[in-house]
Chains A and B, each alone.
Chain A
Amino acid sequence: MRFQLTDDQRALRDGVRDLLAGRFDRDALRTAVDTPGHLDRALWRALGDAGFFALCLPEADGGVGLGLPEAVLVFEEAGRVLLPGPLVATHLAAGTVPGAATGEAVVTAPAGELLPWRDASDVVQGDATGAVPLASVDPLTPLHKLPGPHAPRSPQAVLLTAAEQLGSATRTCELAVQYAREREQFGQPIGAFQAVKHLCAQMLVRAELARAAVYAAAVTADPVETAAAELLADEAAVRNARDCVQVHGGMGFTWEADVHLHLKRAWVRAGTGRTARETEEELAAAL
């Protein structure tokens, strides 16, 4: 049992982190926020060139031939930087929709009662009849709402979304810690105060528990493990973003700070899967 990242997995994660730091830095993030609904096609193709979408496609079909654990690591990085677009749907369409694997085509699909990025996508997979636009809380995720009933998402879609939530939860923990070290009140960094310190510690614990669940589900591909990963990752992303706002004080309530973008995306992602109630029911049924 070596439940740790292999050297190759570490290299993959670091490579993706570097790529995203170069292609989607904070300026790019804020530009995207200022141009709602616009998807950067050059970035999409760059992701395609780097193998982001073809990661799990067999090598014989022109893919990279890696598995779910590697995909999870890559989507975690995407979650960290709030990379926009229907990433999961396009990734899962590689091999079936022409152009998806290379980043030529943008593919979206219904996720629960939501359909993200419909207008900016080339292909909509699945039944999207009756979709009506919704004023999305997340400035980086345009949404349509679909009439019911809704087909369940595939286990891979659920897990990759959980991996993005994990990345976001880890990032908001880092942002909170960084701010708590720098910001001074009462003559010392606010991170020296236990009330703040304990919020940060709880953020780390939440993220680490979610990480264990998400990585394990990626290795086992077990549906109950996947449900556990979804539940804990949704909770970690949403609660950590809230706590991050709190640690930032008034600054956390501004549009300028990125924290609200994490919270809103975490809400949207949580809204694309099963509700916590449904996941808990599934986990109960497995007892």
Chain B
Amino acid sequence: MDLTYTDEEEEFRARLREWLASVLPGLPPKPSPNDWPGRRAYDLGWQRRLYDAGYAGLHWPADAGGRGATPTQHLIFLEETEKAGAPYVGANFVGLLHAGPTIAAEGTPQQRARWLPPVLRGDEVWCQGFSEPDAGSDLAALRTRATRDGDHYVVSGSKIWTSHAEVADWCELLVRTDPSAPKHRGISWLAMPMDAPGITVRPLRTLAGSAEFAEMFLDDVRVPVANRVGEENDGWRVTMVTLSFERGTAFVGEVVACRRVLGELAAQARKNGRWDDAVLRRRLGRLNAEFRALWRLTQWNVSEAEQAGGVPGTGGSVFKLRYSHARQELFDAAAEVLGVAGALDTDQEWTLDRLSSLSYTIAAGTSQIQHNIVAERILGLPKDRPGQRPKDLQKGGR
């Protein structure tokens, strides 16, 4: 067990810090959460700066345009950028954190050459078209159809909760290519250009008031067969790769951000007198333990991934479960520290953060689904057999 970083890693950290200190002060202010084109431009601008400085796709393999950095260097990158208050990945989330790594792991050389560099340079934005109105937690129940027509697929159906759909250039899309196969076997993973005819995007308003996700209607959209990543009908396996990235690495930087927020809250409470409330003070103390331990758990998972080499393991589900709840508790505590202004005023970032924290136990797999994953895949508990239960329930019911 060792928590010290090597000289090389410390040097990497020092150079990154220096660079951050030189660029962050000159950054323009962030556009409002409802100005999506403005947000897109801002997020891509930041990505371009990372690219020019050699920090884009740090953890991607070198032959995918990345720097082939170790998971530990990636961890340092996320830690330092968060500490310094650098912009969040924002619109680049899907491209950088899951579509990109999936293409790097499963795509052909041509596909990697076509799609990966623009993500790193900040030229193209991706979105994720997995969920459907009747296939959320039960993702494999998806019905959007793709039928072959020469060297194209013709896609029809609808998707929902697609984050950044309005401003995306590409969509990682799951479609059913064999309706007669068992539900996990007939799925394929496609890269769909968002400017193709037949796509209608209808923004959905979130409970926080913004329109960060949307509904997508697909009406005979033609997607080249060459845009399929992985074999036809083997999309579920590819999807599992995508999801392990989504849960494995996507929240790492945010723990650092939460620790920063907690420090700010304590400072606020000491200033405004709320610190005298012992119950509230102790809640903040408990959150201190929680986020410190979550950061240590992150280090544990990252160094495990480093030893195993590659795709993050199921430890991501353990982390996500606890983190998503801790984040909600943090912003509830913030509302208590800040009083009416922090709790009820939607002009305050705190209020918006509190509202958006509600999505953490839903997006990227709900807590209930994560509990199933931990129980079945880590603890080896048996799967439920719903078909058999009603009869047995009657038999045993009293």
Contacts and interface: CB of A to CB of B under 8 A. Distances in A.
Given A3-B299, A3-B303, A213-B292, A208 B318 contact: yes
B392 A284 contact: no
24 contacts: A1-B4, A1-B299, A2-B1, A3-B303, A5-B1, A177-B379, A180-B381, A186-B393, A186-B395, A188-B389, A192-B381, A192-B384, A197-B381, A213-B293, A213-B296, A216-B3, A218-B1, A281-B282, A282-B285, A283-B286, A283-B288, A284-B288, A286-B288, A287-B265
Interface in B360-398: 368, 370-372, 374-376, 378-385, 388-389, 392-393, 395-396
Contacts of A181: 380-382
Nearest to B267: A287
A145 B66 CA distance: 63
Contact of A2 (B285, B303, B321): B303
A216 B303 contact: no
A1 B293 contact: no
Contacts, number: 181
Contacts of B296: 3, 212-213, 215-216
A188 B380 contact: no
B12 interface: no
Given A187-B392, A216-B296, A287-B266, A197 B376 contact: yes
A225 B295 CA distance: 11
B3 A201 contact: no
A228 B288 contact: yes
B264 to A, nearest CB: 10
Nearest to B288: A283
A31 interface: no
A209 B379 CA distance: 16
A170 B6 CA distance: 32
Given A6-B1, A284-B282, 18 more contacts: A4-B1, A196-B381, A197-B371, A197-B375, A197-B376, A201-B374, A202-B371, A204-B374, A204-B379, A205-B321, A212-B294, A213-B289, A213-B292, A215-B296, A219-B3, A232-B293, A281-B282, A283-B285
Contacts of A196: 381
B222 to A, nearest CB: 42
Nearest to A225: B292
Contact of A1 (B3, B297, B389, B393): B3
A4 B382 contact: no
A229 B302 CA distance: 20
A186 B396 contact: yes
Interface in A225-245: 225, 227-229, 231-232
A280 B321 contact: no
B384 A210 contact: no
B385 A192 contact: yes
Given A232-B293, A281-B282, A4 B322 contact: no
B380 A201 contact: no
A152 B346 CA distance: 46
A287 B381 contact: no
Nearest to B282: A280
**What interface size band does chain A fall in?**
35 or more
Interface in A253-287: 277, 279-287
Given A4-B1, A198-B371, A216-B3, A204 B307 contact: no
Q: Specify the main secondary structure of chain B where it touches its partner.
A: helix
B288 A3 contact: no
B284 A284 contact: yes
**For A188, A218, A227, which residue has the most chain B Cβ atoms within 10 angstroms?**
A188
Interface string A173-208: 100010011000111110111101110111011001
Contacts of B3: 1, 3, 216, 219-220
B285 A201 contact: no
A224 B283 CA distance: 15
Contact of B285 (A202, A205, A210, A281): A281
A1 B73 CA distance: 10
A246 interface: no
B284 A4 contact: no
Interface string B194-208: 000000000000000
Contacts of B263: 287
Given A197-B381, A204-B374, A215-B296, A1 B285 contact: no
- 6 pairs of A and B residues whose beta carbons are closest in the complex: A284-B285, A287-B266, A283-B285, A228-B289, A280-B285, A280-B282
A103 interface: no
A187 B388 contact: yes
Contacts of A284: 266, 281-282, 284-285, 288
Contacts of B289: 213, 227-228, 231-232, 279-280, 283
A143 to B, nearest CB: 27
A68 B2 CA distance: 12
Contacts of B278: 281
A287 B288 contact: yes
B297 A198 contact: no
A73 B393 CA distance: 45
A231 B389 contact: no
A3 B382 contact: no
B21 to A, nearest CB: 23
